[in-house]
Each structure stands twice: as C-alpha cells, then as structure tokens.
Amino acid sequence: MRKSPTLALLLCATLVLAGCSAVPGLGGGSSEAYTSPDEPLNASALQADHTENVEAADSFTYHANSSGTTNLGQESNGSYTVDTTLTAWVDVTDDEYRYVSRTNGSVLGTPSRSNVSVFITDGTAYAQQQAGGETQYDSRPTNLSSDIVASATLAQQWAVVDATNWTQDGTETVDGETLTRYVANGSAAVEHSALLARSGAPESAANVADFDAVLLVTSDGTVRSFTTETTIDLAGRSVKSRSSVGVSDLDDTSVERPDWLDRARNASSA
C-alpha cells in the first residue's frame, strides 16, 4: 500500500463535479403527475422545484453515470471507450459524505479500470483508490461538501434541459411512486449549442447527429433521472455517449463509514 497525496482526491473531485443515473424512486410519494398531459414542461420551474427540494433535504443520494465511445477515425482504426458510475450518499445534518466511483475504459483495445472511494467528515476527505493492481490511501482538508450538494441540484444540466423540446409521455410507477416521464427524440429536439457546450466540443467543428433524452420527475418536482444519448460527429470522428444523473432517497439516506477509514488515516500520518 502506498500513499498518494493528491491523485485520489483530485480524481474524485473531478468525477463529482462532472455532473455526468437511472435512479430508484422514493416510496410513498404522490400519485399525481408533475404536469398535465397537454402542459408544456417549464424547465425554469422544474429547476426551482428540484433545487429547493435538494437544498431542503437532511440527506439524499446522488447518482451519476456516463459512458462513451470515440471512433478515432480511419487512420488509427480504433476507438476509445470509457464508462464511469458514481454514487454519493449525503448526510447534511451530520455533515458526512461518501461517494464511490468506478471507471472502466479501453484505448485501442487496452483495458484500464479504477475504483475510487471518498469519505468526508469533520472537514477532512479520506480516499482510497484501486488501480493497476495497487491500492493507495490519502487524506486532507476539504470543502467539497458544498460542491457535492451543488452537483445534486443538477446545476450543470439545466442548460440542456431548458434547450430540449420535451413531450410528456405519461407516468410510470417506481417503488410505489408516480414519476412523470418526458421524452425528446432526434437531433432537432435540442438546441445544438447547449448540448455541445456541455460536451466541450467546439460548435464550429461539431455536428449533433443524433439525440435522445428521458426525464423522470416526481410529483413535487424532484428529478429522479435525466438521461441523454447523443452522437456527435467531430473532425472525422464519431463520439457516442450516454449520461444519466438524478437524486433519490431525500431525507432517507444514511452514510456508512468505510472499513478502510483507519488505513487512510494511518497513511496520511506515515
């Protein structure tokens, strides 16, 4: 076991802030739809409702998943793939946070994978990273807790939600809770500038070839999941990606201390 002073924490911070999850529902909710079938979705009102619900919660669980494949073009005859899943458990009342990310990737057929776990308490972040057959531990002061809450408000997603032409597609029941389903299909259903800005692709050199999105919302306006699947053509390369984010278990999330916490503490003092 080796101590890494920065790698694990920096990686976790990047993943949490990426905002990049199909999420189970919170049981016992209302059976009412968020909007009537013929009522257009007001993205600004939904943002206000979701943000208020998350910021008022004593605890919650935040989920994020992103995956993508980049065709590197005819010259390289290969591709780059990556799949990252992150789950964050947040206890605002006790000021404790834990999140776990798992990344699997492949570059030109060579696989890579890493698992990163971070536990935050009393203003200190303790991290464990497993990659390349090695396990590393670290700890240091942090103020990431506010960033985790900001990620759960989906602050980085609303520009795309607002730029999408949504159609209500009825409701579905998950764990006894009614979720209103909104869909958007085809590249014409989204403003390309907003989507490309989120992806980081230059608008002048990129083209949105395909776009599909699903939004699941509780009756009080909490986004259980916001999922997009896109294909972007960029400089002879085709980039296909899927991302999903959402929040669940408001006021019903507990944060468990990891069994490796003492090892991280000992590594930081070594």
> For 221-248, how does the pLDDT look when each residue is reduced to its tens digit (9 = 90+)?
999 999 999 999 887 788 889 999 999 9
State how many domains the chain has: 1
pLDDT for the residue 73: 60
pLDDT for the residue 23: 28
Range of the domain at 259: 2-269
Between 34-48, 116-130, 183-197, 227-241, the lowest mean confidence (pLDDT) is in: 227-241
**Measuring CA to CA, which residue among 162, 152, 145 is closest to residue 44?**
162
pLDDT for the residue 147: 84
Beta pairing partners, 223: 217
In degrees to the nearest 10, what's the CA dihedral of 155, 158, 160, 162?
Answer: -170
More confident residue, 112 or 31: 112
| Sign of the CA dihedral with 27 first, then 29, 34, and 37 last | positive
Average pLDDT, the chain: 84
Phi-psi region of 118 (alpha: psi -120 to 50; beta: other; left: phi over 0): beta
- pTM of the model as a whole: 0.83
Confidence of residue 9 (pLDDT cuts 50, 70, 90): very low
Q: Are 19 and 153 in contact (CB under 8 A)?
A: no
Q: Are 59 and 253 in contact (CB under 8 A)?
A: yes
145, pLDDT greater than 90? no
Confidence of residue 85 (pLDDT cuts 50, 70, 90): very high
1, pLDDT greater than 50? no
CA distances from 81 to 15, 162, 207, 256 (A): 16, 29, 20, 32
Q: What is the mean pLDDT of residues 166-183?
A: 93
Confidence of residue 79 (pLDDT cuts 50, 70, 90): confident
Tokens of 139: 């700890």
Question: What share of the chain in percent tops pLDDT 90?
Answer: 60
52, pLDDT greater than 90? yes
pLDDT for the residue 98: 95
Beta pairing partners, 240: 69, 231
162, pLDDT greater than 50? yes
pLDDT for the residue 108: 65
What per-residue string of b and e applies to 179-193 under the rule 16 or more CB within 10 Å gives b?
Answer: bbbbebeebebbbbe
pLDDT for the residue 259: 95
8, pLDDT greater than 50? no
Q: Are 185 and 143 in contact (CB under 8 A)?
A: no
pLDDT for the residue 249: 95
Q: How far apart are CA 155 and CA 58, in angstroms?
A: 19
